[in-house]
Amino acid sequence: MSGKIALEEHFAIDETLADSAAFVPEAYWNELRSRLIDIQDGRLRQMDAHGIEMMLLSLNAPAVQAVGDIQQAVELARRANDFLAEQVVARPDRFQGFAALPMQDPDAATEELTRCVRDLGFRGALVNGFSQIADSEDLLYYDLPQYRPFWHAVEDLSVPFYLHPRNPLPAHSAIYAGHDWLMGPTWAFGQETAVHALRLMGSGLFDDYPDLRIILGHMGEGLPYSMWRVDHRNAWVETAPRYPARRKIADYFNENFFITTSGNFRTQTLIDAILEIGADRILFSTDWPFENIDHASDWFDAASISERDRRKIGRLNAIGLFGLEDLISDAGASLRAAE
């Protein structure tokens, strides 16, 4: 399929580059490093070769979220966003941006998101999981009360928020002791992010801000296949939910969340996701440079789904979700062709 739009696609700046070194063996670091810092050269050639018209770019992980000093986090986010804006301006037909945000300070995060959307033209934000502050042992998850004004701003700006994984801190990783192979994309990324997303759903956030749109990568971090059990365990016991939200958890997942195919290139999983959440809420992504563009594209182009769903997931859903009609004007024609 040509004309695909991919939206979990990473880059690094000098200050964040080392954050990605642990995700590949040392012998592969030079290759990963070159992929992270390249935007306008090899990345574009890969896109052209595999039918990707546009990437929405985001900073690598954990980056800003792991900077304990609030002022340093604010400054790092601003530098990364300014750099990304320069890359987007060079080729706006091929690249758009997600804002990196200093979530350690909700007011600063709100200010930076507003600047990125209104002044830099970014299409939303991508945040790498929980944030931490150096003088506190508490982890900052975004269902906490102090983030309500931030979420109000996200809703007002009408942009999506991509909740991207990071590993749990060592102090909270006892379950993985002796099994380091479970860390990162293998398992810990998905579990950490799924719990964070469930916290958002159960907190009542979407009762207060029903128009929020949250994106999860990696085919939903396992959540599509767990929603029924979350809401129906011990169904014979008549008891009120033990969370503030007013509705079933699956209601929020189905109405406020989108998922992407990033780093999870399996047709059976995609079909199950379509059955659970619907093709209108799934979007193509590769997870470059941590996964290969050809692996993602070759799989997706051949996956045994309908051409109508392929066009939605590969292109049309992103056009609508991110308001890309100003750059890509063929949404209606593409849908008619798919029909």
* Cα–Cα distance measured from residue 276 to residue 72, given in angstroms and rounded to the nearest whole number: 41
DSSP element (H, E) containing 63? none
Q: Which two tokens stand for residue 202?
A: 């159960």
**Residue of 118, 90, 115 whose CA lies nearest to 100:** 115
Q: Which of 287, 294, 298, 301 is catalytic?
A: 287
Q: Report the Cα 3 to chain-centroid distance in Å.
A: 20
Q: Report the Cα 240 to chain-centroid distance in Å.
A: 32
Asked if 279 contacts 303 with a C-beta cutoff of 8 angstroms, the reply is no
**Residue of 164, 49, 47 whose CA lies nearest to 98:** 164
Would residue 180 show up in a list of annotated catalytic residues for this protein?
A: no
**Residue of 278, 140, 136, 117 whose CA lies nearest to 196:** 140
Which sequence positions are flagged as catalytic? Answer: 287
